[in-house]
Amino acid sequence: MDQVRKWITKVKKSDHDAANQLVSFYYKDVYAYIYRQTLNKELAMDLTQEAFISMLQSIHSYDERKASFRTWLYRIATNQIVNYYRSKYYKYSQVVTEMDDELGQEQDFTMKLEYKEDIERVLALLNTFETSAQQIFRLKLFGEYTFAEIAAVIGLTESTVKTKFYSTLRKVKKELVGDAP
């Protein structure tokens, strides 16, 4: 982690090589985190790129006393995901996909897995919750953060994070069980 601190210091001084090294070091993990929530390779690549651009633009505000760099970076990635699902583009692409399906231009659905469909249902439901609940749920399930780490990222107490997580989990389970035939 000392190397990461060195890169951060150099990036704050506009060192492009250090920025490339920092991005390269975290890219695979951040991409995997985003991919698990989008299940779309191209979208995950785009959101990962946007997360790193945002990280580089705001790195001067990073304070290691408040959170680890990894935690800070995952918070940026989470915000990119939440913003995408709230965006007009996402809503438009959902409508276009539905129209394509109805017009017979659908893709080969035999390749879809139940897992992907379940994740999509959970994510669609999750997108209707408040931002802090979304962030907590995403960091816990997709980022594999502990409640203490999430509390540090979100800026809430650990007990509040646990309460929100389990409340969101109950709501998701209730909706999914309610949808079952």
Which residue's entry shows tokens 């999509």? 120
pLDDT digits (tens, 9 = 90+) for 161-178: 999 999 988 888 888 776
111-151: per-residue pLDDT in tens? 344 556 677 778 788 888 888 888 898 888 888 888 988 88
CATH topology classification for 2-179: Rna Polymerase Sigma Factor; Chain: A (1.10.1740)
Instruction: Judge whether residue 180 has pLDDT over 60.
Output: no
Residues 6+ away with beta carbon under 8 Å from 128 = none
Q: Which of 6-10, 27-31, 107-111, 113-117 has the lowest mean pLDDT?
A: 107-111
Q: Is 90 helix (H, G, I), strand (E, B) or coil?
A: helix
54 pLDDT more than 90: yes
CA distance 8 to 69: 9
- The sign of the torsion formed by the CA atoms of 134, 137, 140, 146 equals positive
- What are the sequence ranges of the domains in the chain? 2-179
